[in-house]
Structure 1
Amino acid sequence: MIKTYLLSFLLTIVTVIGAQAQEALFRAQQIISPEIHQDNSVTFRLLAPNAQSVQITGDFLPTVKIETPMGQMDGPGKTDLVKGNNGVWEFKSQSLGPELYNYSFIIDGFTTIDPNNPFLIRDVASVTNIFIIGGGHAELYKTNDIPHGSVTRRWYDSPGLGMDRRITVYTPPGYENNTEKYPVLYLLHGAGGDEEAWISLGRTAQIMDNLIDQGKAKPMIVVMPNGNVIQDAAPGEGSMGYYKPQFMVPKTMDGTYEANFMDIIKFVESNYRVKADKASRGIAGLSMGGFHTMHISRFYQNTFDYVGLYSAAIMPREDATSKVYSDIEGTLKVQKDNGYKLYWIAIGKTDFLYDANVAYRKMLDDIGMKYQYVESEGGHTWRNWRVYLSEFVPKLFQ
């Protein structure tokens, strides 16, 4: 009798769980969106029979000027979807070039994600859907059938900041199975980012795997720290719990991060098989991370042979009173005299930081500090920064 009761009870539980699973399945819209066509045009669809208007915004549309805390910048445009008799709204794009794109829907003025596309990225506090049009440079952003490196989240002790902090570390294919020592690239994010930014938005692991497999880049370790010194980790990943990410947080660009950067290097060189010399260290960063990169590399003038500034936020700041920011020209001259292999600067023609970078390059020219310069189309966007990483990495540790 007891066995019969238990069997009946278990069958009831299984039935309920199965019903809930089926309910979740059928709650989903059975619609394909986005649908990538053979000519690389894309159709987006949304079931919203009661909506009065549906628009799509994304970086595959013509850009518009938007106001941001950093000034006027290029932003994604938007366009209307057309409603069908079945309550499904549709928009078909023109043929798109190779790229990783992001987009969102706007339903009666409310911006939201595509419920039919589960692939998302977070940029500061905004979550958008993504898709890839393959070919060209976008092949580097895809996960291909090749040997893969590993991505780990590690915690390191920062005595200078008085806390344990989280970093993201990429190790190249085969690292776990050999005894080789590797060079290291320290890759820094921009304002509003964290240790997740380069690995998710920047596609760092995919780019590294593909470049290494193609023989275009040396196998290397890539370390992606969190540049926000009041955080121990990205929002939702650390002791501060779940909270809305901010574009700029206190002490982000006041010299504290740069002054304590050696805590990160010491951890890496104590816990990974690396070549711990100047010729085997590189540092690069985008926007705020480019600002950090410039100051870290000249403050520790004999530490890095490879320096990359991507759309660097090099501009005067009222809070730049730390000793890290003193005698910029003099410390750059020392960095020049110590010697380096590559100082690489890249920026888009319509980037709001373009003039600041022109002024910085003039300073370098005046002191005779050599650099390579790349000027691309577009503005202050991840589309550019992924390309810059793809172009910079093959130049390292040759």
Structure 2
Amino acid sequence: MKAFLSLAVGCLISLSAWAQETVAVNTGDIVSPELKNQTVTFKLLAPNAKEVVVEADFFEKVKRQTSFGVMEAPKQIPMVKGQDGVWTYTTSMPSPELHTYCFYVDGMRMLDPSNVYMIRDIATYTNYFLVDGELSQNYFVREVPHGTVSKVWYPSPTLGMERRRMTVYTPAGYEDSNKQYPVLYLLHGAGGDENAWSELGRAIQILDNLIAQGKAEPMIVVMPNGNGAQEAVPGEYPNSMYKPSFANPKTMEGSFEKAFPDIMKYVESHYRTINDKNHRAIAGLSMGGFHSLYISANNPDLFGYVGLFSAAINRQAKGENTYIYENLEAKLAKQFSNAPKLYFIGIGNTDFLFQDNVKYRELLDANGYKYEYMETDGGHEWRNWRKYLNHFVPELFK
């Protein structure tokens, strides 16, 4: 018996040591990325690797073949191997922003084992780090009152679902007051889900900081899942352990727009909302901008504020929901006869949707419809959508 106990204790000690060694092997004392003296240094322990390169969103862009065709992608830069088996690359500190990166070890993509901060965009994880500055100051968690973020299930009879999930932000102090609040409905792009804006878009930090600074009105923000065939984020509803995809069914064929009243009905019956046009806003990026355009055009009396961030514009739909996309000019005429207080359009000058947005603005201009326009550098990417949200939110509900 004593021998058995000794063996068991020995095994536990060995397992504990192995676990600690595993942690040490994965991370050791390596700090990566290391930000100091206006530089950023990436590090990776890979003593047996023949080649290690780093790819970061702020590197020079080059043309590269992808599954979507030839597209711009960040340049991959070789790292230098030290005698300790640690590969390093140091470069100048990038501009204030949330930056993403990954490694390629002998051609195989991998994340940084020394950096636990990761975000998922559709089916791809990347590491990230934040560089502080005027542009990015609201992307950080600060010493300010924090709102509450809830994952809320609601019924959607229009989509034939007993439960779907959305992310809901309520501002600091909501639980301790009887006050009613305006609502922003914030929609994600193709391949995204109800986690996209809170995780990739830093929406929670942006809202907390802007409200604390007195630059934005306290508001409820509803971030639904815009994929009409999904109940929630892949992996978080029954039978959903599949690889997330950019192309999802029931996204841009009218189902989501048709079912949007289900979301509003739940929100306005379960939260203390101010239920009139001047206290409702809708905005979204890419596909979410497309949804925002057509939901607001089909419901001209619902939203006093509309935001189109790198919005998809044109749609030739077939099927039972084509009415949603038909007669857009007539719908816009009705919408702008009692115009929204703010109709905002933002897009990057190298975005593949740029020309579609130019044509859409020409349509608005030809009819004398007033809107605010913001053009930024760069393409169809989160660094632009965070900028637009940071700019848009302070203009709401004034």
Superposition pairs of residues 169-184 of structure 1, within 5 angstroms: 169-184=168-183
Partner residue in 2 for 1:203: 202
- Runs of 4+ in structure 1 displaced over 3 angstroms? 4-21, 65-74, 316-321
> Counterpart of 1:26 in 2: which secondary structure?
helix
Structure 2 counterpart of 1:314: 313
Which residue does 1:124 correspond to in 2? 122
Structure 1 residues 135 and 84: CA distance shift in structure 2, 3 A: same
Distance 1:62 1:110 in 2: 21
Separation in structure 2 between the aligned mates of residue 390 and residue 206 of structure 1, nearest angstrom: 10
Aligned residue pairs: how many? 395
Larger CA deviation: 221-230 vs 317-326: 317-326
Distance in 1 of aligned mates of 2:315 and 2:218: 37
Change (3 A) 1:26 1:71: closer
Question: Greater shift after overlay, 101-110 or 7-16?
Answer: 7-16
State whether structure 2 residue 396 is matched by structure 1 residue 396: yes
Q: What's the RMSD between the two structures over aligned residues? A: 2.2
Alpha-carbon spacing, 1:317–1:71, altered in 2? closer, same or farther (3 Å): farther
Tell me what 2:51 maps to. 53
Name the TM-score, length of structure 1 as normaliser: 0.94
Task: For residue 18 of structure 1, report the CA deviation from its aligned partner.
Answer: 3.9
Letter in 1 for 2:85: G
**SS state of the match for residue 334, structure 2?**
helix
CA distance in 2 between counterparts of 1:180 and 1:10 reads 60
Match of 2:366 in 1: 366
Q: Deviations over 1:201-258 (max 9, x none)?
A: 0001000011011111001011000010000001111123321100011221001100
Deviation at 1:333, TM superposition (A): 0.5
Structure 1 distance, partners of 2:395, 2:309, is 15
Partner of 2:142: 144
Q: Distance in 2 between matches of 1:85 and 1:345?
A: 53
Where in structure 1 are there 5+ consecutive unaligned residues?
none
Decide whether the 8 Å contact of 2:253 with 2:317 is kept in 1: no
SS at match of 1:246: coil
Identity rate of aligned residues, in percent? 51
Q: Which residue of 2 aligns with 1:353?
A: 353
User: After the TM superposition, which residues 1-398 of structure 1 pair with which residues of structure 2 at under 5 Å, given as runs?
Assistant: 15=13, 18-19=16-17, 21-30=19-28, 31-39=30-38, 41-66=39-64, 73-163=71-161, 164-319=163-318, 322-398=322-398
**Partner Cα distance (2:154, 2:216) in 1:** 28
Distance 1:273 1:12 in 2: 59
| Mapped contact 2:63–2:72 kept (Cα < 8 A) | yes
Partner-residue secondary structure (3-state), 1:96: coil
Partner amino acid, structure 2, of 1:314: I
TM-score in terms of structure 2 length: 0.94
Q: Structure 1 residues 184, 23: CA separation in 2 closer, same or farther (over 3 Å shift)? A: same
Shift of 1:6: 12
Over 3 Å counting, the alpha-carbon distance change for 1:282 and 1:5 in structure 2 is farther
Q: CA deviation at 1:373?
A: 0.6
**1:3-54 deviation per Cα after TM superposition (whole angstroms, max 9, x unaligned):** x999989977974664454244333231111000131x10001111111111
One-letter code aligned to 1:91: Y
Q: Does the C-alpha gap of structure 1 residues 145 and 18 become closer, same or farther in structure 2, counting only changes over 3 Å?
A: same
Q: Distance in 2 between matches of 1:7 and 1:276?
A: 68
For residues 165-205 of structure 1, the C-alpha deviation after alignment (integer angstroms, 9 at most, x for no partner) is: 00001111111111111101000000110001000000010
Q: Is the 8 A contact 1:73 1:352 kept in 2?
A: no
SS in 2 for 1:160: helix
CA contact (8 A) 2:316 2:325 kept: no
Give the residue type in structure 1 aligned to 2:33. P
Amino acid at match of 2:79: L
1:35 to 1:278, Cα distance in 2 relative to 1, 3 A: same
Structure 1 SS opposite 2:92: coil
8 A Cα contact 1:182 1:273, kept in partner: yes
Aligned residues of 1:230 and 1:250 also touching (Cα < 8 A): yes
Residues 168, 318 of structure 1: CA spacing in aligned structure 2 closer, same or farther, 3 A cutoff?
same
Q: CA deviation at 1:323?
A: 1.1
Q: Aligned-pair distance for 1:78?
A: 1.6
> Which residue identity lines up with residue 330 of structure 1 in the other structure?
A
CA–CA distance in structure 2, aligned partners of residues 372 and 70 of structure 1: 32
